[in-house]
Amino acid sequence: MDAGAIRRSLEGRGLRCTPQRYAVIAFLLKQNKHPTAAEIFEAVNRVDPRCSRATTYNNLRDLVQAGLVREVAVEGRAARFDATGMRHHHFICDRCGNVEDMEWYEVPQPASNSLGKRIVRECELIFRGLCSKCAPRHASG
Amino acid sequence: MDAGAIRRSLEGRGLRCTPQRYAVIAFLLKQNKHPTAAEIFEAVNRVDPRCSRATTYNNLRDLVQAGLVREVAVEGRAARFDATGMRHHHFICDRCGNVEDMEWYEVPQPASNSLGKRIVRECELIFRGLCSKCAPRHASG
DNA sequence: TGTCACATTAGATATAATCTAAAAACGTAT
DNA sequence: ATACGTTTTTAGATTATATCTAATGTGACA
Ligand SMILES: [Mn+2]
Ligand SMILES: [Mn+2]
Ligand SMILES: [Zn+2]
Ligand SMILES: [Zn+2]
**pLDDT one-digit tens code per residue, A34-78:** 999 999 999 999 888 889 999 999 999 999 999 999 999 999 899
Instruction: Indicate the pLDDT class of residue A141, thresholds 50, 70 and 90.
Output: very low
B86-140 to CATH, choices 3.40.50.720, 3.30.1490.190, 3.30.160.20, 1.10.10.10: 3.30.1490.190
Q: How many helices (H) and strands (E) does chain B have?
A: 5, 5
Q: B120 to chain A: nearest residue by CA?
A: A129
Residue B141 has pLDDT above 60, yes or no: no
User: Which residues in range 55-74 of chain A are in contact with strand D, contact meaning CB within 7 A of any of its atoms?
Assistant: 55, 58-59, 62
B34 phi and psi angles, rounded to 5 deg: -130, 85
If pLDDT is split at 50, 70 and 90, which confidence band does A10 have?
very high
Query: How distant is the alpha carbon of residue B54 from its chain centre?
Result: 18
Contact: B126, A127; criterion CB under 8 Å: no
Residue B112 backbone dihedrals phi, psi, to 5 degrees: -65, -25
**B113–A contact, CB cutoff 8 A:** no
Q: CA–CA distance from A10 to each of A4, A39, A66, B41, B109 (Å)?
A: 10, 22, 8, 43, 35
> Which residues are registered as beta bridge partners of A122?
B128
SS (H, E, C) B44-71: HHHHCCCCCHHHHHHHHHHHHHCCCEEE
Backbone angles phi, psi at A111, to 5 degrees: -55, 130
Cα gap B24→B68, rounded to integer Å: 11
> Going by C-beta distance under 8 Å and a sequence separation of 6 or more, which residues neighbour residue B114?
A102, A103
- The CATH number of the domain covering residues in B3-72: 1.10.10.10
Q: What are the structural domain ranges in chain B?
A: 3-72, 86-140
Model-wide pTM > 0.75: yes
Q: What are phi and psi of A26, to 5 degrees?
A: -65, -40
Tens digits of per-residue pLDDT, B82-135? Answer: 997 889 999 999 888 899 999 999 999 888 888 999 999 999 999 999 998 888
The pLDDT of residue A71 is 96
CA–centroid distance, residue A127 to ligand 3 (Å)? 13
Q: Decide if B136 contacts B96 (C-beta within 8 A).
A: no
Q: Are A24 and A62 in contact (CB under 8 A)?
A: no
How far is B27 from B31, CA to CA, in rounded Å?
Answer: 7
Contacts of A105 in chain B (CB under 8 A): 108, 110-111
pLDDT at site B6: 93
First to last CA, chain A: 43
CB contact under 8 A, B123 and A122: no
Sequence-separated (6 or more) residues with CB below 8 Å from residue A128: A91, A92, A93, A94, B120, B121, B122, B123, B124
β-pair partners for A65: none
Question: In Å, what is the separation between the CA of A70 and the C1' of D20?
Answer: 32
| Gap between the Cα atoms of A77 and B70, Å rounded | 16
